[in-house]
A and B are shown apart, each in its own frame.
Chain A
Amino acid sequence: MLSDMALVTQVAVLHNRRAFDQLVRKYQSPVRRFLLNLTLGNESLSDDLAQDTFIKAYTHIGQFRALSSFQTWLFRIAYRVFYDYRRSIAHTPQPTAELVNLNETVKGTGDSPLRMDIYHALSLLREEERTCVTLQLIDGESIDHIAEITGISENTVKSHLKRGKEKMANFLRNNGYDR
């Protein structure tokens, strides 16, 4: 099994599609899960955004400098793709759109009640808070990696995490999850 760096080099230098195929297979699950959480469980939207993410990664693979892991680099692209998507629909009032999406998702995918609760709880957070909370509590990223992915300072990431976690904990206590 080749390392990520060896695969990336093969794609960048030799334009080896088979090497990129291996990278997509390896990272499709974390990238799609990250976007699924950002879109509050909207499967079709998150898959479209994940596809755009991998296409962007392919066309810009020469810019990967290995200063961070390949996954962190992919997450940064995924976050930008998601951010661009949000900007493109910015004229739509945010909370309403999200709740509509959430309801559609819950009906469409047959997710477990617990996952519905997770998306419902995440929908209570502001977008930046949700991104930071998702990256830390679900994807297990450190604060400096979250700052790198989102392009915001570590102190701001800490503030978003603090506020987001408080809101989440209050929601969980109010809904009896502490029993």
Chain B
Amino acid sequence: MTDNELLDSFFQPARQQQIADNGFTERVMDSLPEWQQSRSMTRLSQLWTAFCVLFAAVLFFRFVGWQSLFVDLFVFVRTVPVNYDFTTLLLSLMVISWFGIGAVAHRARLYL
């Protein structure tokens, strides 16, 4: 019997050993720390948000955004009774508000 054959047969049982979980995974999951974003990632995320807001503001003023905003608002108010289904409009407002409130609550949790 060569050395390799001898070692192979000796370690055979150890190779086939399967360790039962027995609550190990639960213990690991219970001791996981809360996820914390690294400082550099938080800073990067804030910079990106600031850049997007600034970019949107520049575009708004560059293309005289308030004009089309007022025109669209005026047209909307004047044509609502004719063109829009109020149920759909109400549902859309509710969905948008839901996401808006969720986003604000998330932000508040992060900063409080």
Q: Which residues of A contact B (CB under 8 A)?
A: 15, 17, 20-21, 24-25, 28-29, 32-33, 36-37, 47, 50-51, 54-55, 58-59, 112, 114-115, 117-118, 121, 137-138, 140, 165-166, 168-169, 172-173, 177-178
Given A51-B27, A169-B3, A28 and B32 touching (CB < 8 A)? no
Bound Cα distance from A21 to B6, whole angstroms: 39
Given A166-B3, A169-B6, A59 and B33 touching (CB < 8 A)? yes
Q: Total number of A-B contacts with CB less than 8 angstroms?
A: 79
- B15:A140 contact, CB within 8 angstroms: yes
What are 12 contact pairs spanning A and B, CB under 8 A? A20-B29, A24-B24, A24-B28, A37-B14, A118-B10, A118-B14, A138-B14, A138-B15, A140-B15, A165-B4, A166-B3, A169-B7
Bound Cα distance from A29 to B18, whole angstroms: 6
- A28:B27 contact, CB within 8 angstroms: no
- A165:B32 contact, CB within 8 angstroms: no
With a CB–CB cut-off of 8 A, which chain B residues contact A165? Answer: 3-4, 7
With a CB–CB cut-off of 8 A, which chain B residues contact A166? Answer: 3
Interface string of B1-29 (1 = CB under 8 A from A): 10110111111011101110100110111
Bound Cα distance from A169 to B21, whole angstroms: 33
Q: How many residues of B are in contact with the other chain, CB < 8 A?
A: 25
- A21:B29 contact, CB within 8 angstroms: yes
- B6:A28 contact, CB within 8 angstroms: no
- B6:A178 contact, CB within 8 angstroms: yes
- B11:A32 contact, CB within 8 angstroms: no
Minimum distance in angstroms from B17 CB to a CB of chain A: 6
Please tell me if B83 contacts chain A, counting CB pairs below 8 Å. Answer: no
Bound Cα distance from A50 to B14, whole angstroms: 18
With a CB–CB cut-off of 8 A, which chain A residues contact B10? Answer: 117-118, 121, 168, 172, 177
Bound Cα distance from A118 to B17, whole angstroms: 13
- A17:B29 contact, CB within 8 angstroms: yes
Nearest-CB residue, chain B, relative to A58: B32
With a CB–CB cut-off of 8 A, which chain A residues contact B4? Answer: 165
Candidates B6, B15, B17; contact of A177 at CB < 8 Å: B6
Candidates A21, A58, A137, A177; contact of B25 at CB < 8 Å: A21
- A173:B24 contact, CB within 8 angstroms: no
Bound Cα distance from A137 to B11, whole angstroms: 7
Bound Cα distance from A169 to B2, whole angstroms: 9
Bound Cα distance from A21 to B10, whole angstroms: 34
Nearest-CB residue, chain A, relative to B37: A15
Nearest-CB residue, chain A, relative to B41: A62
